[in-house]
Structure formats: C-alpha cells, structure tokens
Amino acid sequence: MEIIKRDQVKPLVSEHGEASSRTASPSIADLHRHSVAEVTIEPGGRSVRHYHRQQEEVYYILQGQGQMELDDEVHSVQPGDTVIIPPLTRHLIRNTGTQDLVMVVTCAPAWSPEDEVPVRD
C-alpha cells in the first residue's frame, strides 16, 4: 500500500493556465493500469485541445464552472458533473468562471505523454 501526499507532487503547468498534479501514476507509484490527477485551471485558462489514442479519460468536476468541448459538441460543466471521454475523442476544457476550476482526472490505461496527441486550434 502507498499513500501519496498531494503537496509532495510537483504539478505540471501548461502555457494555457492548467496545473496537473499526478497523484497516482506509474511514474510515481507501483501502479500499472490507470492514473489519477488533480487538475486546476485558472479563470480564463484552458487545457490543450488533444485526444488519446488508447486511453479512456474521466473528468470529475469538484469546483468552478467550465465549458467542455468533445469533438464538435460543447457542454457546460459544474461541480458534481462527470465527463466520460473515449479514446480518439478530441477534447478540451475551459474555465468560464471566476474561481479556479478543479477536477479529478483518471485515465485507463495510465496516462502517458506518448498516447496524447495535440490538435491545432
């Protein structure tokens, strides 16, 4: 068993205002099949538009308001909403509120940079 303290994980910060703390992943734990991250997006910030070749991704919104783009569909999201993102689905999330947008993100198989494909805006 492992316990990973959130404040001991250095977040990855994107140029778009997204900070991702991988709290459980093969890179930091004895974990092989999935990964968990806490993602924070500042007001006005967004994730990078991308898709995954193999990974299923789930976003669970904890705080804030946002706009989720899935291929050509746009949906509003708020605390308590769960977004299911199948492989090959182009997606991004944008913070449309006045406070940080905070969510838990899981991937199966585990997130890896090799599986993530950026899509030009």
Q: What is the pLDDT of residues 59-95, one digit of tens each?
A: 999 999 999 999 999 999 999 999 999 999 999 999 9
The answer to whether position 7 is within a domain reads no
The token duo for 68 is 């989720």
User: Could you tell me the residue range of the domain that residue 67 belongs to?
Assistant: 12-116
Residue 58 confidence (pLDDT)? 97
Residue 13 pLDDT more than 90? no
Residue 26 clears pLDDT 80, i.e. is over it = no
pLDDT confidence of residue 29: 73
Single-letter amino acid, residue 15 = E
pLDDT at 20 over 90: no
With respect to residue 73, please indicate whether it lies within any of the assigned structural domains: yes
Q: Is 7 helix (H, G, I), strand (E, B) or coil?
A: helix
Count up the domains in the chain and report the number.
Answer: 1
User: Does residue 39 form part of some domain?
Assistant: yes
Residue closest to 91 by CA, chosen among 61, 62, 58, 64 = 58
CATH at 49: 2.60.120.10
Question: How much is the CA Rg of the chain, to the nearest whole Å?
Answer: 14
